[in-house]
Chains A and B, each alone.
Chain A
Amino acid sequence: MVTAWATLKRNWLVTRRAYPWSYFIGTLGPGIFTVVVALLSYRAIGGGRVSAWFGASSGTSDYLGYVTVGAAALMFTTRMVLWVAKAQITEQREGTLESQMLTPAMRLPYLLGVAAQAFITSILELCCLLGTALLLGVRLPVPDPVSFAAAILAAFVAVFGLSIPISAIMISAGEAHITQNTLFCVVGLLCGFTFPAALLPAPLTFLGELLPATAAMRVLRAATLHAAPIQQVTGDLLICLALGCLYAAVGLLVLPHAERRAITRGASA
């Protein structure tokens, strides 16, 4: 864990000295926009009420709470992916990938260090979004602390796991923007962040279930909107953890190949 701690400390120092404001605004902006648009449509178009089908498919009639939790989770996902999945390609762009690969340090603790710093930063940023939502009049119930903590852990594992194969794809392809934006579109559409995934056609719902963020989203909503006890979310929690670990394992398996491909591309260029 020496590598994880050292990487957390390194990233903390770097972030403190050069905080990426453009990323922050780029992710906070859409989050606030989503909440504001939902608020306006709820009040101006829906007259402060939701239809029966929304309640049936989402399991709640608190539309604003539903959207706010979803927007916050999407922001968390986006920020974590931007930190963790882009860690290796950033090393490559800054010229430090080789010095990193020369060391005997393992990739998992290195990425955990990056993720730990990303988690702390993302939570602070999430507070900005939730604070803005509160100012706009959104009210969330007090969650069950155990299931809320479990939901946060599940979301962390889900996004961390998802980020590792994405990191391998980015470094292997030598680009980040197309990969990250494709991922954001896919998770935004399939994982039920801002609308119930049940509204999607069956094949897309199935694809959404293959992504760990979908189960994480259900756990988060159950914990925050329904104050569900841990027993009620155990099933989704396990799915989320299993899928997150599976993605992480696949990612860690392919990452060394992707890194060598990146070095080879540099060497043969």
Chain B
Amino acid sequence: MMRAIATDDLRKTYPVVERPWWKPGKPLRAAPAVDGLSLRIPAGQVTGLLGLNGAGKTTTIRMLATLLRPTSGRATVDDLDLVKDAREVRRRINMIAGGERMVYTRLTGRENLWYFGQLYDVPKAQLKARIAELLALVGLEHAADQRVERYSKGMRQRLSIARGLINRPAYLLLDEPTLGLDAPIARDLRAVVADLARDGVGVLLTSHYLAEVEQLCADIYVIAAGRLVAQGTPAELTTMAERQHTVEVSLAAAVDDVDHAVETLAMRTGAQITTGVDDDLRPRYTLRHSADLAGELATTIVTAGGAIARLEVTPPTLEDAIIALADAARQPSAVAS
């Protein structure tokens, strides 16, 4: 048995009203939200699913959570078919979405977890201990017997996280789980997710906080318009998009020879160069190149008799890469890698 969530050529289309029904022609058009997606989310690892808004991330997660049926293609959880074996799949998965909903506001935190524990058939003997464990995990012991309507947004989200773990899922689908959470709580959640993965849980994560994705994900899928455009580790994706390093140098004082030396370096390497002054009115050079030219630039300046007051290198980020990959996918000639 393959311990993973796997999708093969998964598609989901939504009907879109093209024209009023009384006008000639087809009134509905099938708009693809997910278009032939093949993914593998193994157990014991956090896998990222990234893309710009409308890329199809939430639709993919909802299909994997059995909330939506694929239009075509196949998806399995530990070899169980997502459609045919939906009930068994639901025992093995859970989903946590950003925002504070998904819990009953007129029940207390403890009552919410008790109710969902019952729906998941958590054995009575274990449920009480499980609830206490989860309330401690998300830091809600003090508010366990308070009605959720009196909770803050962050508290509701933390309860929602506890709800998502009540059935000890083998796979956890996280759709923007830290949305609206304070930084310390988001950090704690990231630690929980990392621990879960270490304990063998397969996690699929979508997030707009790319630092979170870089920190947690071993493997990332990038999708645009429902199609896979790239896959790899955060480092691989960052280089895949061929974004440029930016080196910015400010001199202590202007030196004529430095001007000439830096321009020569730029011409030789093919780097883009911008000259100007910084906020303290010191001469400033900015070089952009796919390679990091910081060392070479510093040597050139010092050799030419200049004194460096400030040097800053901005490497290409995952965010740049995602935007670049998504932009590239929008071009007609784009090919999925």
Contacts and interface: CB of A to CB of B under 8 A. Distances in A.
Interface stretch (A79-87, A182-190, A260-268): A260-268
Main secondary structure of the interface of B (DSSP, over half): mixed
Nearest to B86: A104
Contacts of B114: 6
A2 B121 contact: yes
Interface string B98-128: 0101111111000100111011110000000
Contact of B58 (A7, A95, A96, A267): A267
Given A104-B90, A267-B33, A6 B102 contact: no
Interface stretch (A11-19, A65-73, A150-158, A224-232): A11-19
B90 A96 contact: no
Nearest to B124: A2
Interface residues of B, number: 37
A102 B67 contact: yes
B209 interface: no
Contacts of A2: 118, 121
Contact of B67 (A14, A101, A268): A101
A12 B108 CA distance: 13
| Best-surrounded residue of B65, B115, B120, B147 (most CB of chain A within 10 A) | B115
B119 A103 contact: yes
Interface in A37-84: none
B103 A102 contact: no
Given A10-B111, A14-B107, A99 B163 contact: yes
Contacts of B330: none
B235 to A, nearest CB: 33
Contact of A10 (B66, B104, B163, B167): B104
B64 to A, nearest CB: 11
Contacts of B167: 103
A268 B107 CA distance: 30
B56 to A, nearest CB: 10
A264 B68 contact: yes
Contacts of A102: 65-67, 90, 93-95
Interface string B139-178: 0000000010000000000000001000100000000000
Contacts of B94: 102
A134 interface: no
A196 B93 CA distance: 54
B23 interface: no
B39 interface: no
A238 interface: no
A104 B65 contact: no
B97 interface: yes
Interface string B66-79: 11110000000000
Given A263-B67, A267-B33, A103 B104 contact: no
B87 interface: yes
B97 A98 contact: yes
B91 interface: yes
A41 B111 CA distance: 51
Contacts of B104: 10, 14, 94, 96
Nearest to B87: A104
A3 interface: yes
Contact of B68 (A3, A95, A99, A260): A260
Contacts of A18: 106
B147 A17 contact: yes
B289 interface: no
B115 A6 contact: yes
A25 interface: no
Interface in A84-135: 94-96, 98-105
Nearest to B160: A99
B67 A104 contact: no
A267 B119 contact: no
Contact of A14 (B65, B95, B102, B106): B106
| Best-surrounded residue of B62, B90, B93, B119 (most CB of chain A within 10 A) | B119
B7 interface: no
Nearest to A91: B104
Given A102-B67, A102-B94, A267-B68, A3 B102 contact: no
24 contacts: A3-B119, A5-B118, A6-B114, A9-B115, A10-B107, A14-B107, A17-B106, A95-B99, A96-B101, A96-B103, A100-B119, A102-B66, A102-B94, A102-B95, A103-B119, A103-B120, A104-B88, A104-B91, A104-B120, A260-B67, A260-B68, A263-B68, A267-B59, A268-B33
